[in-house]
Structures are given as C-alpha cells and as structure tokens.
Amino acid sequence: MIFGKFLFYIGNIILLLLLTTFRSKRAWRLALFLNFGYILLSIKILSSTQFYAASILSGFALFFFYVFYNIAHFENTPQEKRGYSSALMFSIGPLIGIAAPLASGYLAATNINLLWIFSGIFFLVTLYFINRQEDFSLTYSLKSALREIKATRWFIFLEGIWEAMIFGIIPIFSLFFIKKPLEYGGFLAYLAIVAVLANLILGKLTDKIQKRVVFLYPLTIGMSVLTFLFVFAVKNFLLWAIFTGLLQFLLPLFWNVSTAMVIDSHPNLRLAIPGREFMLAAGRIIGLLIAFISFSIEKIPHNVFFVLGFVMFLYPVILFWNTRISKRYRYL
C-alpha cells in the first residue's frame, strides 16, 4: 500500500516535469476520466500490478486537477479572505469523505444498479460544470517555478516529507487495530469530522489577524511533539485514536495557514503553484520511502516517528532563522 502511494506521487512528478504547457479545461476533463479509470481498476484488485497501475493513474489525475484548480481558486480569492477560502477548500474533501460512503452504502444496499446510475449522473454534472469554468493556459518551466518559490520551498519540502504520516503511516498502521471495513470507515469519519470542525471554526482567524506566520510556530511544534508521541501508541488503540484525532485537529489548520503563506509570498501563482506541487510531491516520495523502510525492517515501526517528528521540528526552526536571525525573508 505504501509503495502504491509512492507510485501515486511518482505519476504526479512525471507530469510536472513533462507537461509544462496545458489548458485548464482539458486538464480537468482528463482528471475526471483518469479518476474514473482509477475507480474501475480498483473495484476488484486481482494483482499488485493492477493496484500499482491504478495508483499511477490517480497520480496523473492529481496533477491535472489540483495544479489548475489551485491556480483558479486563489486567483479568484482576495488576499484578505485567503485564510477562510483555504479553510473551505480543505473542508470539502473531508465532508465528501463523510457523506459519500454513507450515501453509496445505502444505495448499494437498496440496489447496486442505483449506485452506478447516481455515479454516472454526478460524473455528467461535474463534466457540465467544467465546461462553465474559465479556460486558461498554463506555461512554465520547472526552473522558473522553483525560483519563484525560493523563499518557501524548504518549508514545502519538509511538509511533504512529514505528510507520510497522513498519507502512508496512519491509514495503513490503523489496520493493525481495525479489521472490519465498517469500523475502519467509522474511524475515518471520526477523523474527517474533527478536521472539518477545526478548519471552519478557526479558518477566519488568520484573515482577521493577517499574520499567518504567527500561527505556524504553535502548530508545527505541536505536530512535531504529537508525531514523537505516536511511539507510545503503536500497541494502544485508545492512544492511537486520541493522537490521530489531535493531529487531525491541527493538520487542516496547518494546511490552511502554510498554503496561504505560500500564496501570499508568491503573487505569480502560475509559477508558484507548479513549483509548490513539485516540492510537495518530492517530499512525499522521500517521506513514503522512509515509511516503507521502517515497515520493512521493523516488526512494529517506531523509528519512523522519530524521523518524521524531527523533520516537522525543522519547520519552525528554519522559519525562526529566516525571519529573526538571518532576516532574509518576511512572511505574512
């Protein structure tokens, strides 16, 4: 599963390197059809090769959707509302993660054909709304994109490495505790509810204060400490649930503030967003490799929590160095 997620980000990296000129509507349509292909490949997995192919397709879809969506989203958001706008953006996924499984489970229990009919309807509705979006062209070089985010690229890279916790370790290690699909779905719904509440309650606060960097110190230090504490939860599901809940409370706030900081620091979003996505994907690949090695050499992984906790601790250290010691950069 970790290797599949690794291939997911490899697929994203490949397109970031190769497709440096593309149009938004075409990209969103491709993302929709690639996700449909991913679903078809995942319905009944007969081999690891099939699973890996589905993962790569999903990685392609990530590029085609989010690079262009993030540009469109933030270009149409006033700076003074970017914190709340980010909060809404990062809440949509968890909300769908709560509602969609419940709705699909009900439809499947009633009549499996209804599930496919409604899925087809939503597919067509999404395709219709893509046609109504503004069609813009994106042209960049990776070198210029990375140069554009010079002030924040190390933060983005460290964030990507640490996110192995979210995309690799927590969902997979939770399977050691939870064996039934219903229980696992309930656990994911619990995490999603915590994330949405945290994001919507506190999302406007950064817009009101307009000093997002202030929030990054307590958030990153808290996330670093929690990552270290996971060492004590590997054999205790109660602690595991508490720590994941706390982390899920802090995570959307961190994503909200860190993303808004990058957007505020780099006005040329058509360079900054591809650069950000590349550094995130590169960091996530390294983080997942660390997780893969830990799961391979340890019966019960411990060391990975120390490594990722230290990685997150570097975030506020570098932030303090850049703003207070070297004074090379100023962040909103």
Indicate the range of 79-83, 207-211, 275-279 predicted with least confidence: 207-211
Angle between helices 237-265 and 82-110 (to 10 degrees): 130
Q: Residue 146: is its pLDDT beyond 90?
A: yes
Tokens of 271: 């360079």
pLDDT of residue 82: 73
Q: How far apart are the first and last CA of the chain?
A: 38
DSSP H or E run through 169: none
Average pLDDT, the chain: 86
pLDDT at 207: 57
What's residue 189's pLDDT?
A: 67
pLDDT for res 313? 97
What is the structure's pLDDT at 144? 96
Q: Is 115 helix (H, G, I), strand (E, B) or coil?
A: helix
What would the pLDDT profile of 172-218 be if each residue is shown by its tens digit? 887 777 766 555 566 666 666 766 776 666 665 555 655 667 888 99
pLDDT cut 70: percent of the chain above it: 89
